[in-house]
Structure 1
Amino acid sequence: MWFVIFFVFFFLLYLLRSVLMPFVAGILLAYLLDPLTLKLQKCKMSRTWATVLVCFLMILIVLPAIFLFLGMVESQVTLLVQATPKYLALVLEKARPALQRLAERFPGLIGGNLEEMIKGNIGNGVKFAGALLKGLIANGFAFINLISLILITPIVTFYMLRDWDTFVRKFEGLLPKKSKKGIMESMKEINVIIAGFIRGQLSVCLILGLYYSIGLKLVGLELGLLVGFIAGVISFIPYVGSITGFVLGIILAFAQFGDVTHVMYVVAVFLSGQFLEGNFLTPKLVGDSVGLHPVWVMFALLAGGVLLGFLGLMLAVPVAAIIGVLVRNMIKRYKQSSLYLE
């Protein structure tokens, strides 16, 4: 029975994935903002007015952040397109002796002047990079669907946040009385895992993004803000963010400066960032008690992204937490059963 329900649910989720994103985003925002609303209620404020205040504060913070982010991305992408010929020329200058030796050693394989061949393709490479970046930006906006997110998500967030307690009570009322206690205990465990991981990891991503961006700009990297932002956002996927930013930073540092010193500065920024994350940020903000292994999180995010796109990325961690709790409960029951004890 439960298998059929889950199958139908995920099948409908797959069919409606193109229109569900603002609704899922609104529900997740309401879930994340519910603790703040509860604190305002304790200050003798009604649920409705607490919801209004929380949503107003969210809009007041999020809208300027979006405009600042878009401006930063536009300036950094423009700088990247403008600086690409200079970077390529500098890299070619540094690599010329090695390229000449390669051409002399394998004349038949290379077939001609390798340097001229590379120079001839620099212009095409720049054009391709610019077109690719423009395509990524255009697809990003189409993918996010700004109109639906801006108009629908705040409305869904408001109503879900205002009526959150009502939905929880109705959900509890639908549970079978025989297994209600066990289900509610599992739901509480799932809530602790999701809340601890999402809220904690978002804080880690924000702090790391700021740290990497400021550190790389102080080093003198022209595209430091963009690299730091990318590294911070992708840090939601364990290890991937730091590795991606590390590789991009080294490549851009060598292309911009052409020396080992600035490359080592970039290495120092990311190594110190990893030390900060591993010893202070993750233990304090996320903790070890959330029960989500990094490999399981990576698999969930990748699988969710492949199956449902951005919607799958939003649902990946909650679904991973639910599956993890169910599996642990099944193992616990198995160890208490006669099959295991015999």
Structure 2
Amino acid sequence: MFDWLRKWYTHKFSDPQVVTLFLMLLLGFLGIYWLSGMLAPVLVAIAFAYLLEWPVSRLCRLGISRALSTSAIVMGFMGVLTLALMWVMPLAWYQGRTLLRDLPQIIELGRTYLLELPELFPGMVSEEQILLMMHNVDERVMAFGKDMLSMSVASIVDLVALLIYLVLVPVMVFFMLKDKAQLSAGFVQFLPNERKLISQVWHEMNVQIMNYIRGKVLEILIVGTVSYVVFSLFGLNYALLLGVLVGFSVLIPYIGAAVVTLPVAVVGIFQFGFTAELGYLMLAYGIIQALDGNVLVPLLFSEVVDLNPVYIIIAVLFFGGLFGFWGIFFAIPLASLVKATVNAWSTRVYPAEPSEATQPSEQV
């Protein structure tokens, strides 16, 4: 057993480039894990810089200077984002307050439906089970109310953090885009001279992260907008709030779509009851999710997501547990990084065997 482990270690870590790549990845993960709270504005700025790099580079190709291109794109993006938030946030906030106000009625309606289950399914569901379930729901609602109260008490601290984000993030995004070459050159100075394997993995991941962030933002906008339009056509209450929730649910592959279905269904039942209109609403919502998973995702992420759904879910759970929101957001690129590292590692250690056509006996 120990002899096998020794041989495996010798084979895998005999190349100094492999050891350097392994140590860099380990230090990077540990640094983000321990300093994620302090580095949160930097991570936000990096995400926006990746998002805006594509239009900046296109303007540079037209002959416009890097500084001028960066200034125009950052200012335009911040202006559009500010206008969108000024329209979306107040309306979503109002609908959220309305939903909280109507929450007791929704819970009472749910009680009514649940108490009818023992009559509809005698022998399968008992009244004691229903009462126990409702008691658990009441406890969860009380805990949710306490959490909301504690959030409101801490709102001053959150407001200060938000102001810091509003000032620091745009400044960092501007300089990350404007001085991209200088920042990259400064980072490369810390790397060893023999860095072919690191460069191979980095170039592959740089393109994938850029395409992933751009595609994920487009997916959020498309799915959220389409959901809002469909909910509005049905006259569904809290259409904008639910559309925003559906849009942001795509951040968590597979799991997000399953979770956000619950509030959509609850609001639909509360407004329409168990009628044909509810069925049409859920059918339309199911079509949106199906088109997102089978058409939009392959179209936007055809060059990025080359992972089995099981690996994606494991990556979301693992990296989300380590790094929180940013671990969930970057779960697919991080999983792709692991895959690219393993592929480069294996290719480096085990080069392809020469084919029979290149054997000396065949060439003579």
Task: State the TM-score bracket (shorter-chain normalisation).
Answer: 0.7 to 0.9
Match of 1:255 in 2: 270
Q: Which amino acid in structure 2 is aligned with residue 202 of structure 1?
A: V
Match of 2:29 in 1: 10
Contact 1:231–1:244 at 8 Å: present in 2 too? no
Match of 1:43 in 2: 62
Inter-partner Cα distance in structure 2 for 1:105 and 1:296 = 37
Match of 1:336 in 2: 351
| Residue 78, structure 1, aligned to residue 97, structure 2 | yes
Match of 2:53 in 1: 34
Compare 97-106 and 42-51 and name the one that shifted more: 97-106
Give structure 2 stretches of 5+ with no counterpart. Answer: 1-18, 354-364
Match of 1:55 in 2: 74
Counterparts of 1:133-144 in structure 2, within 5 Å, are 133=148, 135=150
| Residue 192, structure 1, aligned to residue 229, structure 2 | no
Inter-partner Cα distance in structure 1 for 2:207 and 2:315 = 18
Q: Please give the per-residue CA displacement for 1:305-329, whole angstroms capped at 9, x wherever unaligned.
A: 3223334345544433322210122
Inter-partner Cα distance in structure 1 for 2:324 and 2:318 = 9
Match of 1:155 in 2: 171
Counterpart secondary structure, 2:31: helix
Counterpart secondary structure, 1:336: coil
Aligned CA distance change for structure 1 residues 96 and 56 (closer, same or farther; 3 Å):
same
Q: CA deviation at 1:138?
A: 6.8
Task: Select the residue among 281, 302, 310 that pairs with 1:295.
Answer: 310
CA RMSD of aligned residues (A): 3.7
Q: Please give the per-residue CA displacement for 1:141-181, whole angstroms capped at 9, x wherever unaligned.
A: 9669312211111111111111112223344555444443x
Task: Select the residue among 31, 38, 41 that pairs with 1:22.
Answer: 41
Number of aligned pairs? 334
Inter-partner Cα distance in structure 1 for 2:155 and 2:38 = 16
| Residue 222, structure 1, aligned to residue 237, structure 2 | yes
Compare 219-228 and 91-100 and name the one that shifted more: 91-100
Contact 2:33–2:323 at 8 Å: present in 1 too? yes
Inter-partner Cα distance in structure 2 for 1:11 and 1:77 = 38
Task: Select the residue among 219, 222, 228 that pairs with 1:204.
Answer: 219
Contact 2:118–2:124 at 8 Å: present in 1 too? no
Inter-partner Cα distance in structure 2 for 1:66 and 1:138 = 24
Q: TM-score, normalised by structure 2?
A: 0.77
Q: TM-score, normalised by structure 1?
A: 0.81
Counterparts of 1:100-111 in structure 2, within 5 Å, are 110=128
Inter-partner Cα distance in structure 2 for 1:277 and 1:168 = 36
Query: Which structure has greater helix proportion?
Result: 1
Counterpart secondary structure, 2:38: helix
Counterpart secondary structure, 2:237: coil
Q: Which amino acid in structure 2 is aligned with residue 287 of structure 1?
A: S
> How much identity, in percent, do the aligned residues show?
25
Compare 25-34 and 3-12 and name the one that shifted more: 3-12
Inter-partner Cα distance in structure 2 for 1:260 and 1:128 = 32
Aligned CA distance change for structure 1 residues 293 and 61 (closer, same or farther; 3 Å):
farther
Inter-partner Cα distance in structure 2 for 1:45 and 1:169 = 22
